[in-house]
Amino acid sequence: MNKANGPKTGELQYTPPSISELLSLLLKKRRPTGPFNEVWPRVYIGDAHTAQDKALLRSLGVTHVVNAAGGPAHIDTGPGFYMDTCIQYHGVEAPDSKDFDLSPYFYPTADFIHSGLSQGGKVFVHCARRISRSAALVLAYLMIQERLSLAEAAKVVRKHRNILPNAGFLSQLCYLDMTLTLERSTEK
């Protein structure tokens, strides 16, 4: 990894992996993954079909759902959909477009996931195809709350499922990675 540019951390400067390095990591040794996978203890990434199967969510012990494709024009499983369950809901109305700014949702979603886990719950994060929006939000959670770098977070998730956030989301995650690294270097 190039250490020549970016926020200073002690004597070295940090540069997050490039988009091409991230794509190489994410596309390496892909294998079939199912409609949902546990990618971090008690954190699942899955698809819209699984999100709409309340019996399956109940059998998995899911207590919190993040819909990364929320809203009537996408997957409308808002809080009313889960009203007859004990599931807490967090919706993000995000198209899977490289031009969409997903970054304003990174911290609120990371806080929601963290809160669910802190309560001993299980969190199911989904979008339509389970590879871009949901993956980007889980990577942001791992970076913000679990203090992993973007590369570390991507490697952890990739152990359990194929993911491929679009190039715009990857760029936003790179910026988050640099920002968090700078903030953490000044904490010391």
Q: What is the pTM of this model?
A: 0.90
Read off the pLDDT of residues 136-165 as tens digits, 9 standing for 90 and up.
999 999 999 999 999 999 999 999 999 999
Q: Which of 58, 39, 35, 12 is nearest to 128 (CA)?
A: 35
174 in active site: no
Is the confidence at residue 2, as pLDDT, over 70? no
The 10s digit of each residue's pLDDT in 36-47 is: 999 999 999 999
Alpha helix (H) residue ranges in 61-99: none
CB atoms within 10 A of CB 100: 15
pLDDT in tens, 87-127: 999 999 999 999 999 999 999 999 999 999 999 999 999 99
Of 48, 51, 102, 127, which residue is the catalytic one? 127
Q: How far is CA 44 from the centre of its chain?
A: 10
Identify the structural domains of the chain with CATH numbers, from first to last: 31-178 (3.90.190.10)
Q: Is residue 57 within 8 Å of 65, Cβ to Cβ?
A: yes
| Rounded Cα–Cα distance for residues 22 and 154 (Å) | 8
Burial class (CB in 10 A: 0-12, 13-18, 19+), 102: buried
What's residue 163's pLDDT? Answer: 95
